[in-house]
Amino acid sequence: MTDTPETMTAQYRQDYRAPDYFIDTIDLDVQLQEPMTEVTAITRVRRQGEHQQPLILNGEQLILKRLAVDGLPYHSYEVSEHHLTLFNLPAECVITIVTELDPAANSALSGLYKSGDAYCTQCEAEGFRRITYYLDRPDILARYSTRITADKAKYPYLLSNGNKVASGALDGGRHFVQWQDPFPKPSYLFALVAGDFDVERSHYVTRSGRKVALEIFVDKGNLDRAGFAMESLINSMRWDEQRFGLEYDLDIYMIVAVDFFNMGAMENKGLNVFNAKFVLANPATATDGDYHGIERVIGHEYFHNWTGNRVTCRDWFQLSLKEGLTVFRDQEFSSDLGSRGVNRINNVRTVRGPQFAEDAGPMAHPIRPDVVIEMNNFYTLTVYEKGSEVIRMMHTLLGEAAFQAGMRFYFERHDGSAATCDDFVQAMEEASGVDLTRFRRWYSQSGTPELTVTDEYDAASGIYRLHVRQHTPPTQDQPQKLPLHIPLDIELYDQQGAAIPLQYQGKAIGNVLNVLDAAHTFEFEQVPVKPIPSLLRDFSAPVKLHYDYSDEALAFLMRFARNEFARWDAAQMLINKAVIEGVAQVQRGQGVELSQTLLAAFVAIVDDGELDPALKAEILALPSESTLAELFDVADIDAIHQVRDAIHTRLAEAFGARLVATYQSLRLDGYQVVHADMAKRALKGVVLGYLAALNAEHADALVREQYRAADNMTDTLAALQVANSYLLPCRAALLADFEGKWAKDGLVLDNWLRLIGSKPAADVLSEVKQAMNHPTFSIRNPNRLRALAGSFAMSNPVQFHAVDGSGYRFLTDLLIELNEVNPQVASRLITPLIQFKRLDGARKALIRAELTRLAKLEGLARDLFEKVSKALAQ
């Protein structure tokens, strides 16, 4: 039976009810065999309260072989496509369920499946039901014992959660390993891996003196690429002890890198399963960005041990309880270890770009959703990144000491249980004494708030006033909005760039203003001159700011703001103004003109010898076209592209000879993963792009030489990206050389696929389709698919949105094929098709036609049905 629109019923947060039954322990016996694996699950079940309701267990794609209750065959049950229902159970009993499943046929990569020659699992959100019949919901916490049996030659490593308690050889060349997890956990944290790997080993001694074994399992031949992941894991464990006082609690911590994985990684208790992209790195194969990604994701999954595992979610509507909090923690980890300013800039880019677009699209939802059809669709930037911003706002309002007190209170109260977002806010409120009543609305209200700020200065009295109005536009899911508690971080500067102390009624006040109402006026005394305000410093709230800055004021802040983020943000606002004006000029048939103030401000950045090269690179890198599209009610895709290119060229011309001198000054001898060198490589890549805009012939020679001389993937890929973006004569030869070197290494070849997909030329689709025939490419591999099709659809707006609709047809055809193979990946790739609100009428019509074609597809998966139906309802 296939799901139909009538059976795809929505689930509502308000309908949550505690389970009728609890499971205290589960003993699993997993016999790994080809083609069918046999799983025996023995669960201790107890009824909650006095009732006679049946026990309804979740299960998908399982064959029920045997069923017993308290050791005797049981016949009072029904089996459907998604459930096993048991009737007339005693108040407490032991249920034995034996099932068979086919991991090799599981292309959805949810539950137990094959990744290459290895078995692995992905159980979040609802994958455990593909392993055995179970109460597959996060508020069922049980202690797990897992015995795995397999062929020893093929699968010498048999891994699961917890601590290893037994192992041994069996007849027929098979062997077993027994694992016990002493901590109760929900089924989504179950993990199993079986395979033959190379292993990177180390250990960590916790602050209480316990020695923890650390093991990272990678495919054979990749051991030289696992060292940085181990270093990042040790740094994560040390940082969590120092910053949050949290210590690891098992005897062993394992990470397994697999190539076929829907997500980045999974925090299963004691046994993290990772997408290999976030584990494998050496200078020849990984960029500086890859190294940063590995450090961040290793940290993220480790930090989940407390924020997600020890305290988990009561229900999936509370997903941001663990994800928003843990993203905040991994951002702080990266900031403490690296450049806080640059890390903050990159976090904000994600929010202002794709997250704001999500807020404005058909899938707009609060960070704690109220209704879902398919839970996999809510692993979103809103839940993760905006959820992190909400945690960060609490940290801003409370301060570090009170925030840490709230964390301690949260763990003391909820350790070992399934909690809610309200539980977390309550702990923060009680520990700090700060009233967060209105702040709670951030959890229940969707959309992007907008702050409109005006000011006035009375020179006679020395009083400066800021008038702040907040407004959240209606979203598809919520037409009515209420005022939020918005922390607005500000600083005032005099004409010489000195900060003016903030005072009111004779007392010093802090930099964070509490915007609580629809309109609020803040008054500051003893302000000697009309100040230049720096507003929303460090992006203190995920809002859109409207303030009528002059070009001169923004150039001033680029030079004098004490906060690194504020300097970058002023540059962004200056470019945004130029883009808005430039698009209007292009639409009138005029050329793009830039103010001398803008050009001089950016030249000053290049000339600033004291500025961190990493921050300089961030300021000089122009906003993406998708981020710029958010500035318009109707985004003119072609005009935005034309204007952005024109601004880039005008800046290059203003920089002139400085570019070559700067480029030459950034050469390094040897490769090191240290901030100073990574900063120089980042700036060198940005400068090379400006050189290509200034003189393509000269840049072609530089790109060829950089590619030839590069001793690391960062410089190699930077050269390739410039050759690809500017269609330099060397493009074809360099791409062919790169493909030849890395044709058998899918993870590295993903870079080549991304370049193919992002080629800024009308023939890009023919190259994309040709690349889909490459031996390394497989539609069943999410990494390959995201690299090629994802880069075309999400990072090549002019070609994807071609007016003939070819990009839309290509993606729709691919989604139809993926609907049968991996609906979860399809649901992520559909994003640029459903976010058409800002497009012109002709493009909207083309997209609607493709979405209608999808909607009529027989057997459309729940993942796609939910998004397609909401998009068509716009």
Long-range contacts of 729-736 (CB under 8 A, 24+ apart): 729/700, 730/700, 730/703, 730/704, 734/703, 734/704, 734/707
- Tell me the three state secondary structure of residue 222: coil
Q: Are 525 and 506 in contact (CB under 8 A)?
A: yes
3-state SS string over 375-437? HHHHCCHHHHHHHHHHHHHHHHHHCHHHHHHHHHHHHHHHCCEEECHHHHHHHHHHHHCCCCC
Torsion of CA 424, 427, 430, 432, to 10 degrees: -90
Identity at 120, one-letter amino acid code: C
- Main-chain dihedrals φ then ψ at residue 362, nearest 5 degrees: -70, -20
Q: Are strands 311-313 and 417-419 parallel, antiparallel or unpaired?
A: parallel
Identity at 114, one-letter amino acid code: K
Report the alpha-carbon distance of residue 297 to residue 261 in Å, rounded.
Answer: 14
Residue 254: closest CA among 339, 161, 125: 161
Report the alpha-carbon distance of residue 553 to residue 763 in Å, rounded.
Answer: 43
Report the alpha-carbon distance of residue 270 to residue 252 in Å, rounded.
Answer: 7
Which positions ≥6 away from 700 have C-beta within 8 Å? Answer: 723, 728, 729, 730
Helices 596-607 and 564-587 cross at an angle (nearest 10°) of 140
Residue the block writes with tokens 């889909």: 772
Q: What is the DSSP letter of 795?
A: H
Q: Are strands 486-493 and 92-101 parallel, antiparallel or unpaired?
A: unpaired
Q: How many other β-carbons are positioned within 10 Å of the β-carbon of residue 745? A: 14
Report the alpha-carbon distance of residue 692 to residue 545 in Å, rounded.
Answer: 34
Q: How many other β-carbons are positioned within 10 Å of the β-carbon of residue 442? A: 26
CA angle 757, 763, 765 (to 5 degrees): 45
Q: What is the DSSP letter of 536?
A: S
- Active-site pick, 60, 215, 301, 332: 301
CA angle 577, 583, 585 (to 5 degrees): 100
Is 767 part of the annotated catalytic residue set?
no
Report the alpha-carbon distance of residue 626 to residue 758 in Å, rounded.
Answer: 14
Q: Are strands 544-546 and 450-458 parallel, antiparallel or unpaired?
A: parallel
- Main-chain dihedrals φ then ψ at residue 614, nearest 5 degrees: -65, -45
Report the alpha-carbon distance of residue 756 to residue 759 in Å, rounded.
Answer: 5
Residue the block writes with tokens 């120092």: 242
State the DSSP H helix or E strand holding residue 469, giving kind and residue range, or none if neither: strand 463-471
Which positions ≥6 away from 682 have C-beta within 8 Å? Answer: 288, 613, 614, 617
Q: Are 692 and 703 in contact (CB under 8 A)?
A: yes
Burial class (CB in 10 A: 0-12, 13-18, 19+), 501: exposed
Q: Longest C-alpha distance within the chain, in Å?
A: 95
Which positions ≥6 away from 175 have C-beta within 8 Å? Answer: 149, 150, 152, 158, 167, 168, 169
Identity at 613, one-letter amino acid code: P
Catalytic residue numbers, as ranges: 301
